[in-house]
Amino acid sequence: MNPTTLDEVLRTYREHGHLHYGEDVTELEHALQCAVFAEEAGERQEVVAAALLHDYGHLCHRLGERIADEGVDARHEDIGYEKLKGLFVEEIADACRLHVAAKRYLCWKEAGYGDGLSEASRRSLQLQGGPMNEAEAGEFERERHFDVAVRVRRYDDMGKVAGMVTPGLEAFVPLLKTLVIARA
């Protein structure tokens, strides 16, 4: 069931953003850092919002903070996509759906990319299927928003700085409001 309003998404971040997922930052800190890095890089508003929302599924699955340590892939990318599609413009939901595939793709495409992943990202990579093979990479490259997903993935990798000061969630609400799909 999709959230019916932006308020539900924001409430989820407010209520569950304090959770950790194997990194040294909370879910909300991670989301805000990713959005700030995208903004500082001069990204379009859709990419900034996608960077903010890409891990929304982590806040929705209710399977605990350390499920990867237990060998479980909650498929947070699919959960987040299902919740965000139809609420936000397609680029945002697609970046959510594809950001895990983007990690697998970059491990295949760029020598040394996997070496730069955090320990938690390396652990989850194995649960998510490991680096892509050539056929999977070709299929991924044909995704309509694969390029946005790759950019969001890079901000995902950056957004793990303990103690980084960012604007709060409320600073991004006006941006998110512009990207909500109008409903009849």
Which has more pLDDT, 141 or 23? 141
- Picking from 78, 97, 84, the residue whose alpha carbon sits closest to that of residue 145 is 97
Please state the pTM of the whole predicted model. 0.89
Q: Where are the domains of the chain?
A: 6-162
Distances (CA, A) of 137 to 25, 102, 134, 156, 173: 30, 9, 5, 20, 34
CA 179 to chain centre: 17
Tokens 């800190």 — which residue? 29
Q: What is the CATH number of domain 6-162?
A: 1.10.3210.10
pLDDT in tens, 12-65: 999 988 887 667 899 999 999 999 999 999 999 999 999 999 989 888 766 544
Rounded CA gap, 93 and 145, in Å? Answer: 10
